[in-house]
């Protein structure tokens, strides 16, 4: 394994650690913790910081471009997530009230899904 392969392995590892802690939060709650250990919310933040550290290393070594963060893509993804939250709400798998501020869901029904958003 070379250094590039090692860093890509760390990238995958940190992504899976974020996922692992997200699923723990789904099962037991964001503020649940075991003994003196950090809460699930704190663990997610810790793993996101680990992930960004590895991304920084990938940029520093030229494996990823320094301009990888693309705001229009971020905004497009946020819109897509909200779009499908609206769809989930319409098909009855996302319960109301959402209980979260900062989300604007489109009103749509299952036949009005824009297939351009399905990637």
Do residues 21 and 40 touch, judged by C-beta distance below 8 A?
yes
Angle at 9 between CA 7 and CA 15, to 5 degrees: 105
Residue 50 binding Mg ion, by CB under 5 A:
yes
> 62 is written with which tokens?
């030229």
Q: Which is nearer to Mg ion, 45 or 113 (CB)?
A: 45
Give the start-end residues of each E strand in 1-119.
none
Using the contact rule CB under 5 A, the part of the chain among 29-37, 47-55, 70-78, 80-88 near Mg ion is 47-55
Task: Tell whether residue 17 is a contact of Mg ion (CB under 5 A).
Answer: yes
Cβ distance to Mg ion smaller for residue 20 or 109? 20
The contact set with Mg ion (CB under 5 A) reads 17, 47, 50
């Amino acid at each position: 394994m070379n250094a590039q392969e090692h860093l890509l392995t760390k990238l995958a590892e940190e992504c899976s650690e974020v996922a692992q802690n997200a699923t723990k939060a789904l099962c037991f709650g964001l503020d649940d913790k075991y003994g003196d250990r950090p809460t699930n919310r704190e663990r997610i933040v810790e793993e996101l910081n680990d992930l960004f550290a590895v991304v920084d290393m990938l940029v520093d070594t030229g494996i990823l471009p320094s301009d990888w963060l693309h705001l229009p893509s971020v905004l497009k993804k946020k819109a897509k997530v909200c779009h499908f939250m609206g769809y989930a709400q319409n098909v009855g798998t996302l319960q109301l009230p959402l209980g979260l501020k900062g989300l604007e869901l489109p009103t749509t029904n299952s036949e009005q899904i824009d297939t351009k958003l399905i990637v």
